[in-house]
Amino acid sequence: MAPSTLPNDRSLTDEGLSPEGKGKILLVACGALAREIIALRDMNSWTHIDLTCLPAIYHNSPDKITPAIREAVEKWRGSYEQIFIVYADCGTGGLLKAACDEMGVEMLEGPHCYSFFEGNDAFAARDEITSFFLTDFLARQFDAFIWKPLGLDRHPELLEMYFSHYEKLVYQSQTDQPVLLEQAKSYADRLGLEFEHRHTGYGDLSTELSRLKL
């Protein structure tokens, strides 16, 4: 089974998964959710669940997500009783949902992780189009997943172009870690945005995974 800690937030691989997972459910998840899924699994003693993750960096190229999910489902379909996709739409424009429907597998509800962490209904009701969101994962990986991919480490003059329409940085924390809170505040300062902290916990992620039974 996958380890309980993820050094440097590297995505999980298939290593440790049983080639014969009969009697178990396989989660095919975004690597950005690995820590949270492992925490929920261990907290609830979900021994019927195995986990494999795709690289979290796919969120910067969402066109890679649906083909990779198709490949993973094809690879593991014969080895597990059920496969559940731990992605929301995540920028695929409905293509991931269409693929999951075609393959007969379920996936998370919602447009993205910021929505299901807060609760899809609550997030939709806020209608926050001028807020920029961070999760625990992004608070850890801000430079690697936001600052450098946008070229802001090399061209800080692009900051105004990218973030001029935002007013606030909202940090949705899944865990209570003062270090991450301070980091998130520093990123709001770096981006020139107001700061708000919401402790969401695991939100609809916990709800959706808890209902997976064989």
> Same structural domain for residues 69 and 38?
yes
Last residue of a domain, one of 59, 86, 108: 108
> Same structural domain for residues 73 and 128?
no
The DSSP output letter for 145 is I
> Same structural domain for residues 120 and 103?
no
Q: Residues near 102 by Cβ (< 8 Å), separated by ≥ 6?
A: none
Cβ atoms of 168 and 132 within 8 Å: the answer is: yes
pLDDT in the model for residue 2: 35
Residue 205 falls within a domain, yes or no? no
Residue 128 falls within a domain, yes or no? yes
> Same structural domain for residues 92 and 132?
no
| Number of domains forming the structure of the chain | 2
Residue 210 falls within a domain, yes or no? no
- Measured N-to-C along each axis, helices 34-44 and 203-210 cross at an angle, to the nearest 10 degrees, of 50
Within 87-135, strands assigned E span 106-107, 131-134
pLDDT in the model for residue 79: 93
Residue 63 falls within a domain, yes or no? yes
Residue 18 falls within a domain, yes or no? yes
> Same structural domain for residues 121 and 195?
yes
> Same structural domain for residues 80 and 127?
no
> Same structural domain for residues 102 and 121?
no
> Same structural domain for residues 83 and 126?
no
> Same structural domain for residues 18 and 96?
yes
Residue 184 falls within a domain, yes or no? yes
> Same structural domain for residues 91 and 153?
no
Residue 208 falls within a domain, yes or no? no
- One pLDDT digit (tens) per residue for the chain, 214 residues: 333 333 333 334 454 465 566 679 999 999 999 999 999 999 999 999 999 999 999 999 999 999 999 999 999 999 999 999 999 999 999 999 999 999 999 999 999 999 999 999 999 999 899 999 999 999 999 999 999 999 999 999 999 999 999 999 999 999 999 999 999 999 999 999 999 999 999 999 999 999 998 7
Last residue of a domain, one of 108, 127, 162: 108
| Domain housing 163 | 115-199
> Same structural domain for residues 44 and 104?
yes
> Same structural domain for residues 162 and 75?
no
Within 49-183, strands assigned E span 49-54, 80-86, 106-107, 131-134, 168-173
Nearest one of 86, 106, 94, 107 to 62, comparing CA atoms: 94
Q: State the pTM of this model.
A: 0.89
Tell me the HSE value of 5 on the side-chain side, using a 13 A CA sphere: 2
